[in-house]
Each structure stands twice: as C-alpha cells, then as structure tokens.
Amino acid sequence: MSAILNPHDHYFKETFARPEIAREFLVSFLPEPTLTRLNLATLNLQKDTFVDPDLREHFSDMLYQVKTVEEEAGYVYLLFEHKSYPDPLTLFQMLRYCVRIWEQALRADRSLTRLPPILPLLVYHGEQAWGEPRDMVDLLAGDEALHIYGPRFSCQLVDLSRWNADDIRESVLQVALEAMKNVRNPRLGREMLSRMLKLLIELTLGESAVEYIQALLVYLSAASPYLTEEEVRQAIQETLSDEGGRLMPTLAEKWYEQGIEQGIEQGIEQGLKQGLEQARQGAMQTLIGLLEHRFSPVDTELTAQLNRLTVDQIQSLSLYVLDSDSLDQVAEQVRRLSN
C-alpha cells in the first residue's frame, strides 16, 4: 500500500473528484442567485493545483470549469483548509490562487479582454469556529478612506465546525463531510462510524459501495488520532453482518489487492496498522526536514526520542519548531512530550 502522507488531501480529492458529489456540494452551499446563473451539468474537473508546495500540508484545492446559463466560461475553485485552527491570511492566499487561475486563462486565450468569473469556496474543518475575514477589505490595515483602493474579493465559507449534518439530505456527501468534521472527535469510533458505513451501503450499490467504504476507512484510520483498531473492527462486523454481508467478499478482495493477504477482519486490522504507521512516517519526514532546515542534522539520540512520539505529538512539535530558537530548545520539548 502506498504511503498516504496527507490523508485529508487524499480523501478530499478522491471524494470531490466525483461530479455527482461536487454538484450536490455546490447546490448545498452556494447561494440560490449564484446557482441560477450556472449550468452544473457542464461542471468539469481540471487537473491543475495552485497551492504553493510549502503549503500543501495544510491546504488542498480543486478547480472546475463550468458554463453559465449564457454559455460563457467560468470556474469554481474549492480550497480545503485542513489546519486545526483558522488562519487569518487564508483569504489572501485564496486571492493569490484565483489570480493564478486568471493568468492561466489569459495564457490559454490571448484574445480575452475580460476575465472569466471564479466562484471561490473555502472549506474549513478546524476545531475552532471560523472567525477570520471573508472579505479582503477586513484584512486591510489603516483608515477606511484608504480601503477603496484595495481589491474587492470575498469567498463562500463552508465551516464544518459549525455545519449540521441534518442540513443535507442523507447522501454520500453527508457522510464525507461528517467524516471530515469529526475526524478529530474522540467519539468517532464509538458513536458514528457504524452509522456512516450503514448509510453508504444503503445509498450505493456493489462496486461503488466498496469504493466509498474503503476510501472512508483509509481516511479515518490514517487521520484520526482517536479511532482504534477495535472500534473499526466492531463497526465493520456490525455493518457487514447485516445487509452489507453481500459486500464482504468484494471488500476483502480490495484489501487483498493492496497487499493485505488476510480475510476482511484481519485485513482491516493490518491495513489500519499500516495506514497509521505510514501517516506517522510522513509526519516524521516533515519534522526532520524542518529541524535540518532550521538548525542542523539531527543526531541519532534525538531521532530515537522522536520515534517514540505519537503522530499527534510529532505534528504539534512541527509547529513548535517554527517558533523555536535552537535545537536544544526543541530537544527539551521532546523530553517533556516523552514523559
């Protein structure tokens, strides 16, 4: 199984690459006056990404082309912020990415004299509610008399920390958003996972159900700091022992194809361990890279101490490194985390 270094990015793109889910998402979160101007049947996913390489740990993006009802070209741009806290400059970053989309459009068609419309949607799933600016004017310092010279730019916010699952009918999209919202919830495995799996089985058939279930399990097992092997195993047994029993052989085969040579119960257990370890290795690579970039090569003793930390501790230490003044200061923090 290939390493999933950023499970949030992987699950977001795998989910929203499906046109039926992307269309339902836009219908659910765009204002009605905006929707009436779009022909969503023409929605077409592009392969471009505009996020800076050094920010891809915290942001994912997807770009769609879409026609207006007047048959004019336009774009829908989704920026997914998977930090655990809101960033006040996210709106500015989104503006930069939209400028890059316009620049690309101008390079592709040098006859353009007006820019195609872009509908930017910010999807945020941090633990705190989003309280940062959604309009560029609110990012500008100084007196309001100076703000008239700033750019007019805003985005549609989808704040999953305040989103209610009942706001969307029971659907694959509802399961995906609920998974992203609750990935850091300690009650995920005990109270939510079985229901999510049952809903996917009820809503989808055959091969599609297997793909959706596998994508969900891979994401949650790699990204959740609380989900345990026993909770995953129990949720699968509860779900597949009922109406989902017909999917057991196919799901087992899927796990086998990824190098897991046991039955479904053992396969899920081994896959979960492997996914967690791969996520941990990815976090370690990022941390070691930060330490060597800021200070010096990491010695074997410190590396051994780092290897005893959990994924969450490694990720929090990566943020700590950015504000540290020396490698000794980082080493002291590692010792505190180890105790």
Instruction: Evaluate if residue 246 carries a pLDDT over 70.
Output: no
What's the pLDDT at 300? 83
Answer whether residue 1 is part of any domain. no
Q: What is the pLDDT of residue 77?
A: 95
Q: Are residues 272 and 302 in the same domain?
A: no
Please compute the mean of the pLDDT values over residues 71-89 and round it to a whole number.
Answer: 90
Identify the domain containing residue 307 by its residue range.
281-338
**Has residue 179 been placed in a domain?**
no
Q: What are the pLDDT digits (tens) for 293-327?
A: 778 788 888 888 888 887 767 877 877 777 778 88
**178, part of any domain:** no
Q: Which residues pair with 78 in a beta bridge?
A: 62, 121
Q: Is the pLDDT of residue 66 over 90?
A: yes
pLDDT at 70: 94
Q: Pick the last residue of a domain from 251, 276, 301.
A: 276
Q: How far apart are CA 285 and CA 288, in angstroms?
A: 5
Between residues 213 and 255, the one the model is more confident about: 213
Please indicate, yes or no, whether residues 114 and 215 belong to a single structural domain of this protein.
no
Looking at per-residue pLDDT, the higher value among 286 and 42 belongs to 42
Whether 138 has a pLDDT exceeding 70, the answer reads yes
Looking at the fold, whether 249 and 140 belong to one and the same domain comes out as: no
Distance, CA of 93 to CA of 51 (rounded, Å): 8
Residues 6 or more apart whose Cβ sits within 8 Å of residue 191:
none
Same-domain check for residues 222 and 327: no
pLDDT at site 242: 53
Please spell the DSSP secondary structure of 164-202, one letter per residue.
Answer: -GGGS-SSHHHHHHHHHHHTT-TTIIIIIHHHHHHHHHH
pLDDT at res. 294: 78
For residues 13 and 122, membership in a common domain is answered with: yes
Question: Predicted confidence band at 287 (pLDDT cuts at 50, 70, 90)?
Answer: confident
Residue 124 lies in a domain: yes
Q: Mean pLDDT, the chain, as a whole number?
A: 82
Per the structure, how many domains does the chain have? 3
**Do 86 and 111 lie in a common domain?**
yes
Between 118 and 248, the more confident residue is 118
In this structure, the answer to whether residues 241 and 294 fall within a common structural domain is no
Is-contact 221 271, C-beta < 8 A? yes
pLDDT value of residue 218: 84
Whether 205 and 96 map to the same domain: the answer is: no
Same domain, 205 and 272: yes
Residue 191 located in a structural domain: yes
Burial class (CB in 10 A: 0-12, 13-18, 19+), 45: middle
Share of the chain above pLDDT 70, in %: 84
Q: What is the mean pLDDT of residues 223-249?
A: 72
Q: Are residues 115 and 41 in the same domain?
A: yes
Would you say residue 203 lies in a domain? yes
Residue 102 token pair: 């316009």
Q: pLDDT value at position 247?
A: 53
Over residues 99-129, the pLDDT tens digits come to 999 999 999 999 999 999 999 999 998 888 9
pLDDT of residue 121: 96
**Would you say residue 172 lies in a domain?**
no
Selection from 27-41, 165-179, 267-281, 290-304 with the highest mean pLDDT: 27-41
Residues 121 and 198 in one domain: no
For the ranges 65-74, 161-170, 252-261, the one whose mean pLDDT is highest: 65-74
Tell me what the mean pLDDT of segment 40-50 comes to: 91
2: in domain: no
Quote the pTM value. 0.70
The verdict on 132 and 270 lying in the same domain is no
